Amino acid sequence: MSLSESERAFVDAARVGRMATADANGRPHVVPVCFALVSDILVTPIDEKPKVVGGVELRRVRDIDENPFVAVVVDRYSEDWEALRWVQIRGRADLLSPDEEGHADAIAKLRAKYDQYADHALEDRPLIRVVPGHTVSWRS
């Protein structure tokens, strides 16, 4: 399934989303993520920001290995409730390794969106790739 033009524009402009994963037992886990869209695929890096454990040991990566179904919510809150909006992308996630086709394009999109990634060695790290299966959105 693909995003509508309106959903794509909203998601492209957003700076942060929340990714929900669940392990094999269905225990949920939600984290804020930086992301970019490459066609209709959402990618989010396993970057170098300080973490308690290493990249592939992150809870979200372990969850995806056990249960690839994820949801990503991109939203806008405002005290003016006429401006509220959200897009939820539900799909299957996996890891896009540095040697796979599309990895370099995904990194270029992430760096174009986030200046902070200019000095991160994203080329050496896998990315989380989310292929949308269903998209739901709402706005006032």
pTM, to two decimals? 0.91
Q: Encode pLDDT of 26-42 as tens digits.
A: 999 999 999 999 998 99
Radius of gyration, CA atoms only, the chain = 15
Q: What is the pLDDT of residue 140?
A: 85
The tokens for 93 are 């996630």
Q: If residue 66 lies in a helix (H) or strand (E), which one and from where to where?
A: helix 59-66
Q: Encode pLDDT of 47-103 as tens digits.
A: 765 444 455 678 999 999 999 999 999 999 999 999 999 999 999 999 999 999 999
85-96 and 127-139 strand pairing? antiparallel
Domains assigned to the chain: 5-139 (2.30.110.10)
Q: What is the pLDDT of residue 2?
A: 83
CA distances from 80 to 84, 85, 128, 140 (A): 7, 11, 34, 10
Q: CA 137, CA 129: separation in Å to the nearest integer?
A: 20
- The size of the chain, in residues, is 140
